[in-house]
Amino acid sequence: MQENIPSNFTNLTHLDAQGQAQMVDISGKAATVRQAVAAAKVRMLPETLAAIQAGNTPKGDVLATARLAGIMAAKQTAALIPLCHPLPLQKITVEITPDLELPGYQIHATVKTKAETGVEMEALTAVSIAALTLYDMAKALEKSMQIESIRLVSKTGGKSGDYYLPEP
């Protein structure tokens, strides 16, 4: 019933004429190169950061495990988030950088494809799971770590054009 949908929601592509969730039909779109970058932060005590940096953690290599988890998660996005299209991902990078001022880690994921739709959700999934894995790997050292500021930093390609997160 179209009349039950607020007017500002009628252009949402994930809703059908009855207001029901639907997967967007991308069959008529051209495959183009698309890239998205997402970021997250994991805040922790300076002692926890030092232990991770020194490799003194009970579960092993925290950063390598978190990096791999982020890459694997990006490839599983369509299985995790309803209505996401499975995409052929050509490149996934996850960078985890210590930040002494935070203190903690900055996580950035870059995902690239040549497809009919973008890879924003894949990049966001990658940083989210990398952050959760970092937490899991280091929770024996500190349970009060905080995962913060998961955000899209940029996206290029596609019909809607490029997007860059404005500087604060």
Residue 14, classified by CB atoms within 10 Å of its CB into exposed (0-12), middle (13-18) or buried (19+), is: exposed
Please tell me whether 108 is known to bind a ligand. Answer: no
**142 annotated as ligand-binding:** no
Alpha helices in 43-119, H assignment, sequence order: 46-54, 62-75, 77-80
Catalytic residue check, 61 = no
Query: Annotated binding residue at 23?
Result: no
84 is in an annotated binding site: yes
- In degrees, to the nearest 5, what angle opens at C-alpha 62 toward C-alphas 128 and 60? 145
Q: Which of 61, 99, 136, 162 is catalytic?
A: 136
Task: Please check if 85 is assigned to a binding site.
Answer: yes
Residue 26 sits at φ, ψ, to 5 deg, of -105, 10
Count of other CB atoms within 10 angstroms of residue 101: 5
Catalytic sites, residue numbers: 136
Annotated binding residues for substrate: 83-85, 121-122
Residues tagged in the binding site annotation: 83-85, 121-122
